[in-house]
A and B are shown apart, each in its own frame.
Chain A
Amino acid sequence: MNEKPEKLIDKKGLRLDGRKPDELRPVKIEVGILSNADGSAYIEQGKNKILAAAFGPKEMHPKHLSLPDRMVLRCRYHMAPFSVQERKSPAPSRREVELSKVIREALEPSVFVEYYPRTGVDIFIEVLQADGGTRCASITAASLALADAGIPMRDLVVGCAAGKVDDTVVLDLFDTEDKVGSADVPVALMPNLNAVTLLQMDGILTPEEFEKAVNLAMEGCKTIYTLQKEALKTKYMDVKQEEEVEE
């Protein structure tokens, strides 16, 4: 077993992975990487490696789960057995069930569900490697998968967490900080509409610290949003640039 680190922020104000309190981990995003899915995206955030795919809209089976006036979203958040330090059983855990629900509720406000009655969209999220903040990164990828599937949306949804380690409110906790720190606040946002679609907290925070953490997380969301948009546009710019180079 690893020893729990005593201090999470050193004298220079840097965290265990060398980041400043308001610094994000490096993020890499790719869209449309699965040929069988209607839409897909892959995200790496720090050591997190997460794949998201969307299938639909299509008629739902079983039919009684569909709604007569709108599209239904189904979401499955799942961690691969090898994604964490100690092998995790492939069977869905209670945590995965809860996260599947909150992730679905984070994505739903962005989709124009009323356009496609009696249909469903299935969203699958597979966490290939986990290092804290997976639900937020999953939302970022899943939202891109929906856009890649051509599903009309109000905005992309982007996720980012903030929390408290030692006595400081910090951005984008990695796993050790999440486990040893004193609070974790995952947030998901539709940046253009400034609407929060996921908000959870566990730990202990004063109301002021909570407000600070939420604001910090929202800032993190906005930064990742620019990367999200870029990843989406890059897919279509590549061909254009190739052409220009040839000419």
Chain B
Amino acid sequence: MSSVITRVRLKQIEQLIEKGKRLDERGVGDYREIKIEQGLIERAEGSARVLLGKTEVLVGVKVETGEPFPDMPNNGVLTVNAELVPLASPSFEPGPPDENSIELARIVDRGIRESKAINTEKLVIEAGKKVFVVFVDIYVLNHDGNLIDASALAAVAALLNTKMPNYEIEDGEVRIKQGYTPLPMKNHPITVTLGKINGKLIVDPWLEEEQVMDSRISIAFNDEGNICAVQKGGAGCFIPQQILEALKIAQEKAAELRKRMDW
């Protein structure tokens, strides 16, 4: 569990937010500084590292061959996993994925899958028998709040950086050839997370704000501005007005981020 936050600090955060301000001098609608680096892990077929303020997430993509899902014989396979590595935070314990890392992986997965970001039809080697399997592994290296948005950005950046090995089929066997092709991408989902403190919505909550907020809502948008994933989290609740407000703010921020990323 997270360490105890002092009451004084709690009050400080709440009072500032009443005035539309935050401890790090951001406005309630501002993201922290974002830095993205791609291709830093050579052994992976694709990789990207995102720094969102001090939150650091590294995503590695591995592309292998495998069998398609029985009910989707003409599509490649996507699988997303997340690790909240113990060195990233005193609150992360070693062991199998807990509910937080599973939820994180599934939210990022939803954004990519529902927006059809990867053109999985182009990942078929032999329909019904052999396809490319794309493994997206999210590695949280430092937790300073808003792992969802950082991971989602890093995942898409890593996919955009991913190269699939070229292959040929000889005697029914798949042989890897020289050279690579970029992973076929059709869309670039962007996820925006808002936290709620005392009824006020803040964009990109950082660690201490996360300890104060009663709930969060994450909304993923595709290139066309349509919603492809939504997840409310935390033990609080939203009145319908707040949902609509969050939606509006998220739309604006997603468009801003999209422009910044040039996706």
- Give A contacts to B, CB under 8 Å: 1, 94-95, 97-98, 100-102, 104-105, 108-109, 185, 190, 193-207, 210-211, 214-215, 218
Q: Determine if B228 and A97 form an interchain contact, defined as CB atoms under 8 angstroms apart.
A: no
B71 within 8 A of A: yes
Residues of B in contact with A, size category: 35 or more
Q: Determine if B231 and A200 form an interchain contact, defined as CB atoms under 8 angstroms apart.
A: yes
Q: Determine if B222 and A199 form an interchain contact, defined as CB atoms under 8 angstroms apart.
A: no
B217 contacts across to A, CB distance below 8 A: 199
Selected contact of A204 from candidates B70, B105, B115, B237, CB within 8 Å: B115
B67 within 8 A of A: no
A193 contacts across to B, CB distance below 8 A: 237
How many angstroms between the C-alpha atoms of A230 and B231 in the bound complex? 31
A195 contacts across to B, CB distance below 8 A: 237-239
Contacts A199-B243, A204-B114, A207-B247: A100 and B99 contacting too (C-beta < 8 A)? yes
Q: Determine if B114 and A203 form an interchain contact, defined as CB atoms under 8 angstroms apart.
A: yes
Within the complex, the shortest CB–CB distance from A222 to chain B, in Å, comes to 12
Q: Determine if B230 and A199 form an interchain contact, defined as CB atoms under 8 angstroms apart.
A: yes
Q: Determine if B103 and A210 form an interchain contact, defined as CB atoms under 8 angstroms apart.
A: no
Contacts A94-B106, A198-B232, A199-B238: A204 and B227 contacting too (C-beta < 8 A)? yes
B97 contacts across to A, CB distance below 8 A: 94
How many angstroms between the C-alpha atoms of A199 and B215 in the bound complex? 11
A-B CB pair tally, cutoff 8 Å? 95
- B213-263: which have CB < 8 Å to A? 215, 217, 222, 225-240, 243-244, 247, 251
Q: Determine if B222 and A204 form an interchain contact, defined as CB atoms under 8 angstroms apart.
A: yes
How many angstroms between the C-alpha atoms of A95 and B102 in the bound complex? 8
Contacts A109-B237, A205-B227, A214-B243: A199 and B106 contacting too (C-beta < 8 A)? no
Selected contact of B99 from candidates A98, A185, A218, CB within 8 Å: A98
B251 contacts across to A, CB distance below 8 A: 207
A196 contacts across to B, CB distance below 8 A: 232, 237-240, 243
Selected contact of A201 from candidates B106, B229, B235, B244, CB within 8 Å: B229
Within the complex, the shortest CB–CB distance from B211 to chain A, in Å, comes to 14
Selected contact of A202 from candidates B99, B229, B235, CB within 8 Å: B229
How many angstroms between the C-alpha atoms of A199 and B218 in the bound complex? 10
- B140-189: which have CB < 8 Å to A? none
Within the complex, the shortest CB–CB distance from A121 to chain B, in Å, comes to 13
Contact with A along B94-123 (1 / 0, CB 8 A): 000101101101100010011100000000
Which 9 A/B pairs are nearest by Cβ-Cβ distance?
Answer: A201-B230, A195-B237, A108-B235, A199-B232, A101-B99, A109-B237, A197-B237, A97-B102, A196-B238
How many angstroms between the C-alpha atoms of A195 and B240 in the bound complex? 7
Sample (23) of A-B pairs whose CB atoms are under 8 Å apart: A1-B70, A94-B102, A94-B105, A97-B103, A100-B99, A102-B233, A105-B234, A109-B235, A185-B230, A197-B232, A199-B217, A200-B230, A201-B230, A202-B110, A202-B114, A203-B114, A203-B228, A204-B114, A205-B227, A206-B227, A207-B225, A210-B230, A210-B247
Within the complex, the shortest CB–CB distance from B187 to chain A, in Å, comes to 10
